[in-house]
Amino acid sequence: MYPLKFSPILKSTIWGGNKIIPFKHLNSDQQQVGESWEISDVPGDESVVANGTDAGKNLTQMVQEYKGALVGESNYSRFNGKFPLLIKFIDAQDDLSIQVHPDDELAMKRHNSMGKTEMWYVIDNADGKAHLRSGLCKNITPEQYQQMIEDNTICDALADYAVKPGDVFFLPAGRIHSIGAGCFIAEIQQTSNITYRIYDFNRKDKNGNTRELHTELSKEAINYSVEPDYRTHYTPCKDQPVDLVSCQYFTTSVYNLSECMTIDYSELDSFVIYICMEGACTIKDNEGNNIEMQAGESILFPATTQNLEVTPHGEVKFLETYV
């Protein structure tokens, strides 16, 4: 098999900005794009292959056809033939709603779905003005939580961070969170679209209606524990992988390369995804396939990949993630 690129699935939202269009080098009059779904197997939003002999097939069809050769034998069995990750770019011109996602057990019981653990990598921060919320900053009970929703004080219980490019946040299912105005991020998450909206700042749509809140559903889904710091700390380094997140759902590293590197995947029984955030490079796989990657692109390398030779065009920065 060969490396796969997919056509982006663009999502217009009331809070979206205009960074995704130039970032992804798209010719489009659609400026208020909140999300670009890069690689998705969510029903109704399946990514379509944009290159090679399989161009036009969607990701669901690709997994059905290639099975373990694409996703890895253990992954194919573990996830019942479903692609396990959803990759997005998100551009928030305004604050997104405060929300939480259920874990696997609760999501399966309520929605016959996987839960949603995710991570964020901040690409840009709108001239230093961006912020986001992650986790509780003080102990509250479920009853206090509900009261704070009703009296519009729930933000007082949330940890709020000013962010800069390169900041990383890991968000296990159950952690309250919100992407704030000015954030442009890459998001890696389980393949799930189950979101409980906790609070939306009493905003109204064009018809004067507030959006539905899921107070009762979210009350049981929230992890009420408090941690001193929810940011993922790491030391940036050039020309070597830097580990960011390792959990049962995905392992993610960041590469900032200015020289050629060969990356060995011979012992890995999984697909690998590269998400490019800066610069460009040429990538050659062990079968002799060459593919170009530039900022704004994501590439899926099948589980049959043994190694990749990455040659930067000057410099390149990308996330590597696999299961």
- For residue 287, pLDDT beyond 80: yes
Kindly list the domain boundaries of the chain, sorted by start residue.
4-232, 242-322
Query: What is the full DSSP assignment across 270-284?
Result: S-EEEEEEEEEEEEE
pLDDT at 18: 87
- CA dist 66 and 251 (Å) reads 23
User: How many alpha carbons lie under 13 Å from residue 67 in its C-beta half-sphere?
Assistant: 4
- CA dist 201 and 230 (Å) reads 23
Mean pLDDT of 116-125: 97
153-212 pLDDT per residue, tens:
999 999 999 999 999 999 999 999 999 999 999 999 999 999 999 999 998 877 888 889
Q: What angle do CA 118, 103, 16 make, to 5 degrees?
A: 40
246-264 pLDDT per residue, tens:
999 999 999 999 999 999 9
76 pLDDT tier (thresholds 50, 70, 90)? very high
The answer to whether 4-232 and 242-322 have equal CATH topology is yes
28 pLDDT tier (thresholds 50, 70, 90)? low
- CA dist 8 and 268 (Å) reads 27
Q: Which CATH class is domain 242-322?
A: mainly beta
pLDDT at 264: 98
Known active-site residue 203: no
304 pLDDT tier (thresholds 50, 70, 90)? very high
Catalytic: which of 78, 133, 175, 197? 197
- Cα dihedral 107, 111, 114, 120, rounded to 10, equals -70
Query: What CATH superfamily is the domain 4-232?
Result: Jelly Rolls (2.60.120.10)
